[in-house]
């Protein structure tokens, strides 16, 4: 399907309901344009779809985001825009737009993320536990 078909298909389904954001007739296409941004804390907003045991998220972090505690969950992510720094306690890894990252779950790879300036948008796929 070319980009024009995707664009027309998106316009044909302007719903904002999450259950209609995944169009099975288009090969389970996730239409993030049909999902409203949600924010439950300062400096982060999320568009999310849960299918089976996977959570698919588009997340935008700003430099105002401060992670209160260490995350021990595993993540597979792709940085769509910006730069994010991931603090593993003993080292900080800088991840830029175009980079992917795989963080296995567990105490040994606990981590906190922060955006040094501006915003960073990540596409993240997590397995539901």
pTM: 0.77
| Confidence class for position 2, pLDDT limits 50, 70, 90 | very low
> What is residue 9's predicted lDDT score, i.e. its pLDDT?
36
pLDDT(78) > 50: yes
Residues 6+ apart with CB under 8 A from 3: none
Q: Residues near 120 by Cβ (< 8 Å), separated by ≥ 6?
A: 60, 61, 79, 81, 82, 83, 84, 97
Please give the Cα distance from 87 to 66 (Å, whole number): 12
Of the candidates 28, 39, 31, the one whose C-alpha atom is nearest the C-alpha of residue 13 is: 31
- Rounded to 5 degrees, φ, ψ at 105 are -75, 160
- Smallest CA-to-CA distance from 89 within 112, 72, 105, 66 is with 112
pLDDT tens figures, 36-60: 999 989 999 999 998 888 899 999 9
Q: What is the CA angle 69-46-55, rounded to 5?
A: 85
Domain 37-127 has CATH 3.30.365.10: no
Which residues of the chain form CATH 2.60.120.10?
37-127
pLDDT value at residue 50:
87
Backbone angles phi, psi at 12, to 5 degrees: -75, -15
């Amino acid at each position: 399907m070319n980009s024009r078909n995707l664009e027309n298909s998106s316009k044909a389904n302007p719903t904002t309901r999450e259950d209609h954001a995944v169009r099975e007739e288009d090969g389970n296409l996730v239409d993030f344009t049909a999902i409203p941004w949600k924010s439950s804390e300062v400096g982060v907003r999320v568009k999310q779809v849960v299918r089976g045991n996977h959570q698919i998220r588009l997340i935008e972090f700003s430099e105002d985001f401060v992670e209160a505690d260490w995350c021990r969950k595993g993540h597979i992510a792709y940085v769509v825009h910006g730069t994010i720094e991931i603090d593993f306690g003993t080292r900080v890894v800088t991840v830029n737009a175009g980079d992917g990252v795989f963080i296995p779950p567990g105490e040994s790879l606990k981590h906190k993320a922060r955006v040094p300036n501006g915003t960073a948008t990540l596409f993240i796929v997590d397995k539901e536990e």
